[in-house]
Amino acid sequence: MNAIAIALHVTAATVWVGGMFFAYIVLRPSSDVLAPPQKLVLWAGVFKRFFPWVWMAIIVLMTTGYWLIFSWFKGLDNTPGYVHLMHIIGWIMALLFVYLYYKTYPGFKVAIQNENWPEAGAVMARIRKVILVNLILGLLLLVLITALQRLT
């Protein structure tokens, strides 16, 4: 059962971090050829499709992470340092996404619906910053965990 939990955990992390990487590094600069209204409508569609996957990834990551902590390591007291690091950074990333989804994203959707392109652009800039922070945290987490796990 732990092998399935690890496989699901890694898959969920790949979906979330990989999606942010693609969006930020590939799609964002490629969409610069579009006029602002078209670009913002494109991003509205991207978020509408990607954010449910992020929710699913967070649920899978939290469920499998705690499963492994309590079944494999027998609790937080016996958990190695790299898992604590993963735990903390994972919660920071999840909370940043919750903030983005409930505080920032609704304003973006309203601005798009009202075709208020300057407001949609301003909100998009805030969304982009949160995604960048989460992308950096996610990539840092993947590198650190892979390296630290090998050392223990």
Give the pLDDT confidence score for residue 151 in this predicted structure.
67
**On the CB side of 65, how many CA atoms lie within 13 Å of its CA?**
21
Give the pLDDT confidence score for residue 152 in this predicted structure.
60
Q: Tokens representing 34?
A: 């579009």
What does the alpha-carbon distance between residue 73 and residue 80 come to, in Å, rounded to a whole number? Answer: 8
pTM of the model: 0.93
Give the pLDDT confidence score for residue 94 in this predicted structure.
98
Buried b (16+ CB within 10 A) or exposed e, 103-126: eebebbeebbeeeebebbbebbee
Give the pLDDT confidence score for residue 81 in this predicted structure.
87
Mean pLDDT by 10 residues, the chain (152 residues): 93 98 97 97 98 98 96 92 92 98 98 98 98 97 84 64
Give the pLDDT confidence score for residue 149 in this predicted structure.
74
